[in-house]
Amino acid sequence: MIRNYVDELIHIIESTKTEEEQKNLIMQYHESDIADALVNLTKEQRLKLYHLLGEENVSEIFAYLDNVADYVDELDQEKAADIIELMDSDDAMDVLEELDEEDRNEIVSLMEPESVLDIQLIDQFSEEQIGSKMTTNFILISKSHNVKTAMKKVIAEAAENDNVSTIYVEDEYHHFYGALDLRDLIIARENDDLVSLMKQNYPYFYANEEVTDCIGRLRDYALDSYPILNAKNEIIGVVTSDDVVEVLDEELGDDYAKLGGLTEEESINESIFSSVKKRLPWLIALLFLGLIVSSMISGFEAVVAALPVIVFFQSLILDMAGNTGTQSLAVTIRMLSMEEIKTKDLIKQCFKEIRVGFLNGLILSVLAFAFVFCFLFITKQDISTGAYSHFEALKASGIVSMSLLLSMTICSFIGSAIPIFFMKIKIDPAVASGPFITTLNDIIAIVLYYGLAYLLFLAF
């Protein structure tokens, strides 16, 4: 049975217990559960909750909120500034970005200069760069420290920086040198060499690297945190595992949105105008592509006029070609985003998709041939002579069958080749969206289907 955290929290807040007892009870809940419950509390209950927990605990809860600006607006600006400056710099940056410019400037003016500098450091990087995802919540020691000195510094900074599972090390020139686990530092003897405890070839990223270029390495290493360096090889921040999950979620969301024909992922809380703005560009492009498909069908007007029965099976060819291409597209984009790909692997993938498309097309074309012939036989539909003919029914079934086989084979290749081509010219492969591939495949299927019908019925 799922617990109702909202009712439990309301019961605690409205109880006659002392404030200290209420705080102790509420702190038994995870910050994420408290954040989820906030939306169902009244403003008065939320304000009492903030008072009970204190600014530091509230800052941790705010990090789990999606529409945090709504809750910041309930606070006076001085209290809001105190809470935001206690948050990790990346979370604080996210909160400030949600506020309108006037409130943001006022709150920033009330924050400690050190917190403002951390936020400005992150703000200088664009959303596409890994530096925008980092936090300044980390502990840095010098490689010249001995174990005892290093441990003292960790203890001293642990109150301010709770990201302590990995300790980062710099050399005498302030260049990133390596990292060591807190566990290794704790169990080390006082006279142990600090350098012997650390990993000098520890993975790192430069702040100006594109997020899309970093995803593969972030996933492969699966570390608690990763150091972020500037151009001078100085560590200026870290990306934590929480940030990695967020990055992967954003990238997968954006890719999924692009596959659906959106310019970027939509939010459930955004305005209708914003949603229209994200969807309209691709829809306009697809409108013109659709007009191309329609104009190509009109080019086969003589075929349609002479063989109206052929139109019955047009949607079958178009749908299967589009579905096949979209399947190849999805497989290829996942491969491009998750692995280090070599040119020979790309060529291998294209040939694999051709073979898969051919075998699927062969099986389905046989089934389609049998179905179409049975349909024409049962309904006694005439093809072109004005009366039913077994021979013409066989030819019509053959056209559907051959078109299905050829279109599924070619469209499988198109679905894998297009995203690979986009990647080679430095364009996000996800831009080769499902609707785009489907429309392109429609053109191929139309040419094959009506072209074969013309050749078998009208040309000879």
pLDDT per residue over 24-60, tens digit each? 998 998 888 888 888 888 888 888 889 889 988 998 8
Whether residue 270 has pLDDT greater than 60: no
Tell me the C-alpha distance between 205 and 160, whole Å: 24
- Mean pLDDT, the chain, rounded, equals 83
Whether residue 310 has pLDDT greater than 60: yes
For residue 168, the surrounding DSSP H or E stretch is strand 166-170
- Please state the rounded mean pLDDT for residues 149-160: 83
Give 84 or 340, the one with higher predicted confidence: 84
Q: How far apart are the two ends of the chain, measured CA to CA in Å?
A: 72
Whether residue 319 has pLDDT greater than 60: yes
For residue 193, the surrounding DSSP H or E stretch is none
* Reported pTM: 0.62
Q: Which of 316, 345, 359, 318 is nearest to 416 (CA)?
A: 345
Tell me the C-alpha distance between 53 and 150, whole Å: 33
Whether residue 254 has pLDDT greater than 70: no
Burial bucket for residue 249 (CB in 10 Å: 0-12, 13-18, 19+): exposed
- And the tokens for 272? 């209708």
Whether residue 432 has pLDDT greater than 60: no
Whether residue 264 has pLDDT greater than 60: no
3-state secondary structure of 92: helix
Domain boundaries, the chain: 5-124, 140-259, 272-459
Whether residue 387 has pLDDT greater than 60: yes
- And the tokens for 92? 């604080």
Q: What confidence tier does 206 reach under pLDDT thresholds 50, 70, 90?
A: very high
- Please state the rounded mean pLDDT for residues 355-367: 94
The fold for domain 272-459 equals Tetracycline Repressor; domain 2 (1.10.357)
Whole-number pLDDT of residue 430? 63
Percent of the chain with pLDDT over 90: 15
Give 149 or 406, the one with higher predicted confidence: 406
Whether residue 460 has pLDDT greater than 80: no
Compute and round to an integer the Cα radius of gyration of the chain.
31
Tell me the C-alpha distance between 308 and 145, whole Å: 86
Cβ-contact 33, 13 below 8 angstroms: no
Q: What confidence tier does 258 reach under pLDDT thresholds 50, 70, 90?
A: low
**CATH classification of 140-259 is 3.10.580.10, yes or no?**
yes
- Give the architecture (CATH level 2) of 5-124: Alpha Horseshoe (1.25)
Whole-number pLDDT of residue 340? 61
Percent of the chain with pLDDT over 70: 89
Whether residue 261 has pLDDT greater than 60: no
Angle at 307 between CA 305 and CA 309, to 5 degrees: 115
Estimate to the nearest angstrom the gap between the alpha carbon of 243 and the chain centroid.
Answer: 13
Whether residue 338 has pLDDT greater than 70: no
